[in-house]
């Protein structure tokens, strides 16, 4: 089977906002404790941060990290997590029915994010708390010394403002599982007034309103309309969350999960633009896809099935080769919408549905999904280009009907002249020969991720069982680059 991929620097989607290579740290399971923070670990630094994990985070190429939740934030009192550690209270976290020791909080996360070289994205508690708590936290973080709240930060060891610019107005407030869950109208009013008050502290913040928890929510679409009708002029982004998994063993639909993400993004853009029309506004709202990943939710017992414990393992999914191909295809989808998706967070970063896994006191390793993320973050250029696929085969999926087997995007760097092509073969059965007319370019590199055993995973003992491989034989003949794409495979082809 042969397909032709056409790409040209003249056909631009938009500039790539590098915050789409974001991730997410929640106080959940072992993401924070024994994940990024473990003072007793042999590789802990003076702050108790695991240096082995920091090294992997930098290698992953993450640019921004959302914190501290997630469902956790909706019953979190940020005041518990600042000040002398021996005076911080132990609390019951209602979201994950866990004991929160509060040994890691606002100031620690800011210090950690500086070491990891990532921009923090902060979520405020609009579940059990509201406007007052949000503006207090903002003042604690961002005001210069000289007010009660900012002086508290100074007393806690941070003389300079934390300067956090991106703030999420709550988390998944449409979800009945959320502590303090609200109707669209209730949330819209609270988000409106919280945004108003936060902008009084600092007018140029970037604010993210909560969209739907997933596209299957009964209120999907209507929730966004109601929330945006109230907040359109006050916020910059609307959030999207989505997790994908093979359902009932349907691996073909799982490999095509990017279709679901693509449709969700298009629907939210349509809803935002509908509100724009209603308001006769010139402003174009953008999207923050601030939770996305593969999550085998059928393995999750549900919040109420969790016994109360401290930093116990929670949803530590081991990712297969297929999961890595899907994650690569989801990143392709985000790039295809670079004109409207400005922030995206792979959820989460360490241990909890994460690209990085750790043992308490022991090793850290890269899951399969680490690789397409790291390579995309590393090689995606500043401008996203359209790609057109001609003549390629289709695959038949139970979830999405017939869809193209190939799913692709490309980026261009006008300084280096490099074009990076990201493409996935979603067929379970067919290898595809891809032809790319290249206009005088050379193949710099072809890297792929696939395996005979599509269920293979990386473990502490076999951390490199699944790694990307360099593909030989991708060459240019008569101005056409020809590459072979095996079934269920992810590819990066760099042309320069």
Q: Which is nearer to ligand AHR, 24 or 232 (CB)?
A: 24
Residue 458: how many CB atoms within 10 A of its CB?
24
Residue 172: CB minimum distance to ligand AHR, A: 5
| 347 interacts with ligand AHR by CB under 6 A | yes
> DSSP letter at 7?
E
Residue 78: name the closest of 145, 25, 133 by CA.
133
Catalytic one of 172, 202, 224, 260: 172
Residue 276: name the closest of 214, 343, 228, 218 by CA.
228
Q: Which of residues 162-201 bind ligand AHR (CB under 6 A)?
A: 171-172
Between vectors from CA 384 to CA 379 and to CA 386, what angle results, nearest 5°?
A: 125
| 71 interacts with ligand AHR by CB under 6 A | yes
Q: Which is nearer to ligand AHR, 67 or 407 (CB)?
A: 67
Residue 34: CB minimum distance to ligand AHR, A: 17
CA distance 214 to 224: 12
Residue owning tokens 């999405």: 400
Alpha-carbon torsion angle 27, 30, 33, 39, nearest 10: -160
Residues 6+ away with beta carbon under 8 Å from 150: 139, 140, 142, 143, 144, 161
Q: Which is nearer to ligand AHR, 370 or 422 (CB)?
A: 370
Q: Which is nearer to ligand AHR, 52 or 317 (CB)?
A: 317
Q: Which residues of 86-108 are buried (b: 16+ CB within 10 A; e: fewer)?
A: eebeebebbbbebebbbbbbbbb
Q: Which is nearer to ligand AHR, 71 or 212 (CB)?
A: 71
**Is 310:442 a contact under the CB 8 Å cutoff?**
no
Residue 245: CB minimum distance to ligand AHR, A: 13
Q: Which residues pair with 331 in a beta bridge?
A: none
Residue 92: CB minimum distance to ligand AHR, A: 16
* Site stretch for ligand AHR (CB under 6 A), options 67-75, 109-117, 323-331, 424-432: 67-75
* Site stretch for ligand AHR (CB under 6 A), options 14-22, 66-74, 100-108, 305-313: 66-74
Chain residue whose CB lies nearest ligand AHR? 70
What's the burial of 125, exposed, middle or buried (CB within 10 Å: 0-12/13-18/19+)? buried
Q: Which is nearer to ligand AHR, 257 or 483 (CB)?
A: 257
Residue 64: name the closest of 293, 258, 347 by CA.
347
Residue 185: CB minimum distance to ligand AHR, A: 21
Q: Which is nearer to ligand AHR, 70 or 381 (CB)?
A: 70
Q: Is 172 a catalytic residue?
A: yes
Residue 79: name the closest of 128, 25, 6, 43 by CA.
128
Catalytic one of 26, 133, 192, 291: 291
Q: Which is nearer to ligand AHR, 173 or 195 (CB)?
A: 173
Residue 171: CB minimum distance to ligand AHR, A: 5
DSSP string, 399-459: TTEEEESEEEEEEEETTTTEEEEEEEE--SS--EEEEEE-TT--EEEEEEE--SSTT-B--
Residue 1: CB minimum distance to ligand AHR, A: 38
> How many helices (H) and strands (E) in the chain?
10, 24
Binding mask 353-392 for ligand AHR (x = CB under 6 A): ----------------------------------------
Q: Which of 38, 202, 291, 317 binds ligand AHR (CB under 6 A)?
A: 291
Q: Give the HSE-up count for residue 235: Cα atoms under 13 Å, Cβ half-sphere.
A: 34
Residue 161: how many CB atoms within 10 A of its CB?
18
| 81 interacts with ligand AHR by CB under 6 A | no
Binding mask 124-163 for ligand AHR (x = CB under 6 A): ----------------------------------------
**Is 392:405 a contact under the CB 8 Å cutoff?**
yes
* Beta strand ranges found along 170-234 (DSSP E): 206-209
In what helix (H) or strand (E) does residue 344 lie, and over which residues does it extend?
strand 341-347
Q: Which of residues 22-51 bind ligand AHR (CB under 6 A)?
A: 26
Q: Which of residues 209-238 bind ligand AHR (CB under 6 A)?
A: 213
- Tokens encoding 11: 């056909």
Q: Which is nearer to ligand AHR, 291 or 322 (CB)?
A: 291
| 119 interacts with ligand AHR by CB under 6 A | no
| 348 interacts with ligand AHR by CB under 6 A | yes
Q: How many residues bind ligand AHR (CB under 6 A)?
A: 10
Residue 122: CB minimum distance to ligand AHR, A: 14
Residue 145: CB minimum distance to ligand AHR, A: 34
Instruction: Just list the catalytic residues.
Output: 172, 291
Chain residues binding ligand AHR by CB under 6 A are: 26, 69-71, 171-172, 213, 291, 347-348
């Amino acid at each position: 089977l042969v397909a032709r991929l056409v790409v040209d620097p003249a056909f631009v989607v938009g500039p790539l906002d590098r915050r789409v290579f974001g991730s997410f740290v929640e106080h959940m399971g072992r993401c924070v404790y024994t994940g990024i923070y473990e003072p007793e670990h042999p590789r802990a630094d003076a702050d108790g941060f695991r240096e082995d994990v920091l090294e992997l985070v930098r290698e992953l190429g993450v640019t921004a990290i959302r914190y501290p939740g997630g469902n956790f934030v909706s019953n979190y009192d940020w005041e518990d997590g600042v000040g002398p550690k021996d005076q911080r209270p132990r609390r019951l976290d209602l979201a994950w029915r866990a004991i929160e020791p509060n040994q890691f909080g606002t100031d620690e996360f800011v210090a950690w994010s500086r070491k990891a070289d990532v921009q923090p994205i902060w979520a405020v508690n609009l579940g059990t708390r509201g406007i007052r708590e949000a503006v207090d936290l903002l003042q604690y973080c961002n005001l210069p010394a000289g007010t009660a709240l900012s002086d508290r930060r100074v007393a806690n060891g941070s003389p300079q403002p934390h300067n956090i610019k991106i703030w999420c107005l709550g988390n998944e407030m449409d979800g009945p599982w959320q502590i303090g869950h609200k109707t669209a109208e209730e949330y819209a009013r609270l988000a409106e007034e919280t945004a108003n008050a936060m902008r009084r502290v600092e007018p140029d913040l970037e604010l993210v309103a909560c969209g739907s928890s997933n596209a299957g929510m009964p209120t999907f679409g209507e929730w966004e309309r109601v929330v945006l009708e109230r907040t359109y002029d006050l916020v910059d982004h609307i959030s999207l969350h989505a997790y994908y998994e093979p359902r009932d063993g349907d691996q073909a639909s799982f490999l095509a999960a990017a279709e679901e993400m693509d449709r969700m993004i298009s629907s939210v853009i349509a809803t935002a633009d509908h509100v724009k029309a209603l308001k006769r506004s010139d402003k174009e709202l953008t999207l923050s896809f601030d939770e996305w990943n593969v999550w085998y939710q059928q393995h999750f017992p549900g919040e109420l099935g969790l016994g109360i414990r401290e930093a116990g393992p929670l949803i530590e999914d081991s990712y297969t080769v297929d999961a890595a191909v899907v994650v690569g295809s989801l990143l392709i989808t985000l790039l295809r919408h670079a004109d409207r998706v400005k922030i995206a967070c792979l959820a989460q970063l360490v241990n909890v549905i994460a690209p990085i896994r750790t043992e308490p006191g022991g090793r850290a390793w890269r899951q399969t999904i680490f690789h397409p993320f790291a390579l995309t973050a590393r090689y995606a250029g500043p401008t996203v280009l359209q790609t057109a696929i001609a003549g390629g085969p289709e695959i038949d999926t139970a979830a999405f009907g017939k869809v193209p087997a190939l799913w692709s995007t490309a980026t261009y760097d006008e300084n280096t002249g490099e074009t990076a092509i990201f493409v996935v073969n979603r067929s379970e059965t067919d290898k595809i020969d891809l032809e790319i007319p290249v206009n005088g370019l050379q193949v710099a590199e072809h890297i792929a991720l696939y395996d005979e055993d599509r269920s293979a995973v990386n473990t502490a003992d076999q951390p490199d069982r699944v790694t990307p491989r360099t593909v030989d034989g991708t060459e240019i003949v008569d101005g056409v680059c020809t590459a072979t794409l095996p079934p269920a495979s992810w590819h990066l082809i760099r042309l320069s």
